Chain A
Amino acid sequence: MSAPKPNETRHSGTSTDSVSPTSTSDQLVDHFFRHEYGQLVASLTRRFGVRNWELAEDAIQYAMSRAMGGWSRQGIPQNPAAWLHRVASNHMLDVLRRESRQESLDEATLTENVPSRETVNLKLPENERLNDDLLRMIFVCCHPEVAAESQLALALKTLCGFGNREIARSLLTTEMSVAKRLTRAKQRLRELRVEPSDLDEVTIRNRLPHVHSVVYLLFNEGYSSSLPDRLIREELCEEAVRLALLMAEHPLTQGGESSALLALLLFHAARLDARIDANGVMLLLKEQDRSRWDRRLMAEGYRWLDRATGQGPISRFHAEALIAAEHCYAQSLDETNWHRIVQAYDLLCRLAPSPIHDLNRAIAIGHHHGPDAGTKALSQIESDRLERDYYLWHAARADLAAQTKNFNFARQALEQARDLAPTNAEKELICRKLDALGEDTAQS
């Protein structure tokens, strides 16, 4: 998994392959700020309350713009995070004091509502406290009363420091719609008077499966190849791993499910770089150079999967992590242990019934027992929704049919897949497959 590296080429649409030093340092600064942003929002919101959420974001923007100007002239301070925290806190205090005066509140109310500079600890809170702030903020963003589509936007904005434009690109929507979602979500949280510090252990435990799902989805957005911006895809995955790690390690959220989710994401993250070639071309599993899979991330994945197996109960994430682990463990596609993968899909389908899981199981069966068995497994799936919505259902049908030289059937399935494909890029893929099928038909 790759954070923007100093020497990494960004596919920015320019004809040169090199990145100028300025844009490289800008990327690093962006990256640093993005991570600090989530931490700062969490810590300031916990201290000043959800009602001051937007003010906190403004104050952080202010601190960051001060940093941009000041640091380039005077150099980066020894502890940049603490510097940002102090400047943003002070700015918030100043604004709150000014507002209080404008509302002509008496001095007593002011001192009651707004802590004075002297009473506020301006040092950066301890690491433990920071993690706790961020963790609580995840649970605020994933509040069940917030519309599902807004939870992701809120998490990306608040926890990951994404801009509205990046969120729009991540969630395949418009900036306008992102802005509306964020405003509505924050308003709802203010109405509900949700405060990060009010979250008790029981609430956190109860909401944990849902938060897992949001982090899983965050990763899936990055893992799915429908996003045109490679950098955003990688950052989404990286952020999801970061949040999963926080949950797996934090005493309030650790356990089998958190460990298994983290293991699952690590296995997929280990392959991210190898899924794309030097020209940004997406590679299928059989085309991937397995020596480029990240051994370190895979080792971490095995470590967390080991831990997850000792922490019951078994969850769908255990099953999914096992599937991903088998793929990582195989030295080549031919050496893949499809028997175990099918077993893990059996487990997944029982733990979390879903036609998507059935579909992937059928593909695995096709690899394990041959296309006829795969087709049979496919035919047993409750597929109404898949037929209507999911182009990969039809693409999988076509693949199996083509393998049994049933080319007419494969063609029809591919045409359905093409019509359902959600993006032009996916339509292009299907068209390519249709062309290839034409050649096969001609040869047979």
Chain B
Amino acid sequence: MAKWGEWFQKLGAAIIDGGDALLPVGKVITSNSAVTDGPFIEAKELVGGYSIVEADSIDHAAEMAKGCPVLTHGGNVEVRQLAGYSDSL
């Protein structure tokens, strides 16, 4: 734990400027979009986020939604049926 922390502290332009030795990074494939997505906490878990639950009825889904922690923070939860997944509801 301490080791990478120290290493990180020392990270500076010198290391980055040694960029000639860097391996070329292959372009990450994207499905349709021109931009490359990744598992980034900032955009996906601070800005974005949503829930999909599978339930046998809309009432069942509403029951599940009652446990959502956002409710304890004064937020609200809206339960809607997903288009394209109608057969599961």
Contacts and interface: CB of A to CB of B under 8 A. Distances in A.
Interface of A: 11-15, 148-149, 151-152, 171-172, 208-214, 216-217, 219-220, 223-225, 228, 257, 264, 268, 275, 277-288, 302, 305-306, 309, 312-316, 320, 322-325, 327, 329, 340, 343-344, 347, 350-352, 354-356, 359-361, 363-364, 367, 385-386, 388-392, 395-396, 399, 424-426, 428-429, 431-432, 435-436
Q: What are the nearest 9 A-B pairs in CB distance?
A: A210-B26, A429-B50, A363-B42, A360-B42, A148-B29, A223-B39, A279-B64, A285-B45, A281-B51
Contacts of A424: 82-84
Among B35, B55, B75, max chain A CB count under 10 A is at B35
A313 B18 contact: yes
B70 interface: yes
A429 B26 contact: no
Name the prevailing secondary structure of the B interface residues: loop
Contact of B31 (A149, A268, A350, A367): A149
A151 B22 contact: no
Interface string B50-73: 111111100010001101111000
Nearest to A316: B25
B54 A435 contact: no
B56 A313 contact: no
B53 A281 contact: yes
Contacts of A306: 3-4
Nearest to A350: B16
Contacts of B53: 11, 279-281
Given A281-B64, A325-B4, A209 B24 contact: yes
A306 B3 CA distance: 6
9 contacts: A14-B56, A213-B29, A279-B67, A302-B1, A314-B11, A352-B25, A395-B48, A428-B78, A429-B49
A355 B49 contact: no
A260 B15 CA distance: 16
A351 to B, nearest CB: 7
Contacts of B65: 279, 281
Given A15-B60, A275-B45, A281-B68, A390 B33 contact: yes
Given A277-B69, A282-B51, A313-B18, A208 B60 contact: no
B35 A428 contact: no
Interface of B: 1, 3-4, 7-8, 11, 15-16, 18-19, 21-29, 31, 33-56, 60, 64-65, 67-70, 75-78, 80, 82-85, 88
Contacts of A363: 42-43, 46-47
A392 B22 CA distance: 30
Contacts of A429: 48-50
B21 A313 contact: yes
Contacts of A15: 56, 60
Contact of A13 (B8, B18, B27, B54): B54
A340 B27 CA distance: 26
B35 A281 contact: no
Given A257-B23, A343-B8, A284 B36 contact: no
B60 to A, nearest CB: 6
B40 A356 contact: yes
Given A313-B23, A327-B41, A359-B43, 6 more contacts: A322-B8, A323-B41, A343-B11, A356-B36, A392-B47, A395-B48
B86 to A, nearest CB: 11
Contacts of A390: 33, 35, 37
Nearest to A222: B39
A250 to B, nearest CB: 17
B43 A360 contact: yes
B82 A426 contact: no
Contacts of A212: 25-26
A323 to B, nearest CB: 7
B25 to A, nearest CB: 5
B70 A152 contact: no
A385 B83 CA distance: 27
Contacts of B39: 219-220, 223-224, 264, 268
A61 B84 CA distance: 31
Among B15, B34, B44, B48, max chain A CB count under 10 A is at B48
B38 A356 contact: yes
A351 B16 contact: yes
Contact of A324 (B27, B41, B47): B41
B9 to A, nearest CB: 9
